[in-house]
Structure 1
Amino acid sequence: MSAAATAAGRTRVAVLISGRGSNMAALMEAARSTDYPARIALVISDKPEAKGLQTAGSYNIATRAIARTAFADKASHEAAISEAIEASGAELVCLAGYMRLLSGSFIHRWRGRIINIHPSLLPSFPGLDTHHRALAAGCRIHGCTVHFVTEGMDEGPIIAQAAVPVLTGDTPESLSARVLEAEHRLYPEALAMVARGAVRMGADGQAIFRD
């Protein structure tokens, strides 16, 4: 079954978080609209104390806390996450501040069906501390990127980007706040594109768009 077509007409999505899940909340808010092509079926956190679980509960969305410490190794932890995703009927996975690196086997299992939002205009500044690094490099434009997840860190095919100007006197904190606002707009738009089938990851690892 394709991610663009489900029996209910809306693609079911699982969201992985580790903290407050502000991007998760943006996705859930967008999915409240009946004409949005995706709905959030499950939120999973690797941290039982994550505030995002409470937020998801307030939207009446199913939640699971699957703590890494409850499993003998990374493989068994990720297997439990995959089983929970599959049990929810989700066809797409969104990373929204999930702070663990996923293994190649997990990514392969969900190839072309897992997306992430990153706080920079990739391929610039993959990894952490993106706002500090953008300022240190003298960038005048910064932003965020939604991409398909592949085994390379922040190297997957780009789905959508949003640019944010770097202002005189910006600090990493002020720049981060402005980029986060852009993230909250961009992620729902990008998820909708994937759910509608407007973009997919091809066999050669490229993003393929259609009108």
Structure 2
Amino acid sequence: MDRAKFMKKYFRKKIKGAQDFDAYARADYEQALVRARGLLGLEEADTNELNPLVVSLPEAFFKGSSVLFKMSKKNDHIRFNQARVTVLLFGEHQLYYYTALIDHERGAFSDDYTVEIPYGSIVSIETNSIRFYERGTNHHYIDLQLYLVNDHAITVRLKDVVVERKELQEGVSIPEDTQTVLINIMKFLRAKRGL
């Protein structure tokens, strides 16, 4: 079965296939790394100071398209057919930021954007944990924000955790895996900035 047919069945009918979807998604994220390095004119060796960070969250591939979701059996993982992927690559002297939209149904990319940031241009680092209710769903966003010279900023949404309303009301904490990623990035950036 080809990719497009599989995706249509996977998201529109009750069929198994999480492992197949995950394999397609991983291939898309690998392609995002290749595209990021290609657009930035980098080799893999240029960005091996810290493991690349690749984050994907649901976002419509084009205006008017529908993002389809499928929850895992344990309700602990959400898969989606369209996404915004964000990549951070860590070079010796610069941080490289890449983002694009992906349509997992076709393996298509759009709206590529890159920026190079000298570590010395990062004036502050902020983490943000926000909880809110939107369109029948309770969310807990975890963001990493880099504030740059000239009042520019880059926000990387690391996670969108869907939580039960009761959890949202009681308060939520940052998941341990996300907290580890945040700590590692902040330590790395502090060292690169000489702090």
**Which bracket does the TM-score occupy, shorter chain normalised?**
under 0.3
Q: Which structure has the larger Rg?
A: 2
Identify, as 1 or 2, the structure richer in strand.
2
